[in-house]
Chain A
Amino acid sequence: MVCIEAKDIQAAGLGPVSLSVESGTCTALSGPSGSGKTRLLRCLADLDSHQGDVSLDGKPRESFSPPQWRTQVALLPAESFWWSERVLDHFPIEDKPALDSLDLTPSVLDQPVRQLSSGQRQRLALLRLLANQPGVLLLDEPTANLDLDNIMRVEALIADYRKRHRCCVIWVGHDGTQLERVADRTLTIINGRLNGDRL
């Protein structure tokens, strides 16, 4: 079963790129900076205009409303941004985020965002994203600001989420050993073109 499939994606500095990721699997994406990794994720999440088709479980993107699509195909950007003063305002009211899984205490929810460390913000951004229960996770260097303990916690949380929801993951990163650890396969992107062991 194919979860997300992209055909001939083309945008400024990218493509054409085609790729498909099966549900329950994790594909790593690496490459030099400026090679188009982030651009590809933004195109998949439909944030940048581009050419080419993207579909989810065989259904074309056009059959989803943009908010529906982005809830399902969730992008975690390298840097997190917050629109409200308090952390809690960024989470759905009825949902309790799994704070302890990422070594965060409940008091963090009542804190002003600007008092958090970049590592805390990054972990909270992941929880904020998972609260939507997406079917596809597009992760742009999700552990860049974290210490080793928290890197492991984030990896475990994502692996657990992936198993429980049968979601597919595209993980952009630089650390080769980490990518080998978390992903089923690694693709390389150079000058906007994909190459690597395609499944």
Chain B
Amino acid sequence: MILLSPLDLALAAILVLLAAGLAHWMRVGETRSLLIAALRTVVQLLLIGYVLKAVFGNVHWLWVTLLGLFMLIIAGREVTVRQAHRFTGGWSLAMGSISMFVSAFSVTVLALTVVVNASPWYTPQYAIPLLGMILGNTMNGVALGLDRLTQSASDKREIIEARLMLGHRAQDAIANIRTDSIRVGMIPIVNAIAAAGLVSLPGMMTGQILAGSDPVEAVKYQILVMFLIAAGTIFGTVSAVWLGSRRLFDQRQRLRLDRLKQTL
């Protein structure tokens, strides 16, 4: 494996600066956030690099769990801030985190115990990257699904209520919005699976190949990860949208848009 020097990274950073300069010159207006994001990448990844090094050095389930929960909370926060209509009272954060916990964690644990068979099963070299990849993708599905759900419910309030007035049950009145939201949440992962290897070489596989692994072995791991991600994303999106669609109505099956707050 060819080791990268700080100079190599500096060269890549110059490319980002050039791109930012171009964006600035074209008055795109995103220059500042691009530079901040680039800086965040450096700091966050360096930090996680050292954290991983420490966790890998002290294999203990407590450290793995703590790191996993930390990742979950951050993912929950990212889901929440992307919502144009957020549930009030922290419900978006709660529903996002719960659905990601249920899906991403259970899929990861299942993969570690049944498929990968590392010993112990929580060996951080396997547990943390797997959880990270599954969580990162589940996060997209959950964020997109919840956003579509709350947006559609706000836009189609009269249609939902028209059905309620005719005696439809709340969950029937919102059924097509719910399936549409799940569909939207699934689009990125279905695209990624369908185009894998043809349009893009998935990041994990690329990393393994760059690090000198046999491409076929890398491909096997990539297929495993793809399937885990797909399952995690779909379970997570379905449960988040289901929880959200429950929260949109109260016990008397009234549509409660006052439980949403427009944020963007």
Contact = CB atoms under 8 A, between A and B. Distances in A.
Interface of A: 45-49, 66-68, 70-71, 74-77, 79-83, 128-129, 132
A148 B169 CA distance: 36
B164 A70 contact: yes
A132 B163 CA distance: 12
5 contacts: A46-B252, A49-B252, A67-B253, A70-B165, A81-B162
Contacts of A128: 166
A46 B161 CA distance: 11
A132 B166 CA distance: 7
Given A45-B165, A49-B254, A49-B256, 6 more contacts: A66-B164, A66-B169, A76-B165, A77-B158, A82-B159, A82-B162
Nearest to B157: A81
B168 interface: yes
B217 interface: no
Nearest to B163: A83
Interface residues of B, number: 19
Nearest to B168: A67
Given A46-B252, A46-B254, A67 B167 contact: yes
Contact of B162 (A49, A68, A83): A83
Contacts of B33: none
Contacts of B167: 67-68, 70-71, 74, 132
Interface in B160-181: 161-170, 176
A83 B173 CA distance: 9
Task: Kindly name the residue among B162, B167, B169, B255 whose own CB sees the greatest number of chain A CB atoms within 10 A.
Answer: B167
A67 B252 CA distance: 9
B158 A48 contact: no
Interface of B: 158-159, 161-170, 176, 250, 252-256
Given A66-B252, A67-B169, A70-B167, A47 B162 contact: no
A66 B255 CA distance: 12
A118 B170 CA distance: 27
Contacts of B166: 70-71, 74, 128-129, 132
Task: Kindly name the residue among B165, B170, B176 whose own CB sees the greatest number of chain A CB atoms within 10 A.
Answer: B165
Contacts of B159: 81-83
Given A70-B167, A129-B166, A132-B167, A83 B176 contact: yes
Contacts of B162: 77, 80-83
A10 to B, nearest CB: 16
Across the A-B interface, give the 7 residue pairs with the lowest CB-CB distance, nearest first.
A71-B167, A66-B253, A81-B162, A81-B158, A67-B167, A81-B159, A75-B165
A67 B254 CA distance: 10
Contacts of A129: 165-166
A47 B163 contact: no
Nearest to B256: A49
Contacts of B176: 83
A128 B166 CA distance: 8
Contact of B250 (A49, A70, A74, A82): A49
A45 B168 CA distance: 13
Contacts of B163: 83
B253 A74 contact: no
Contacts of B252: 46, 49, 66
Nearest to A48: B254
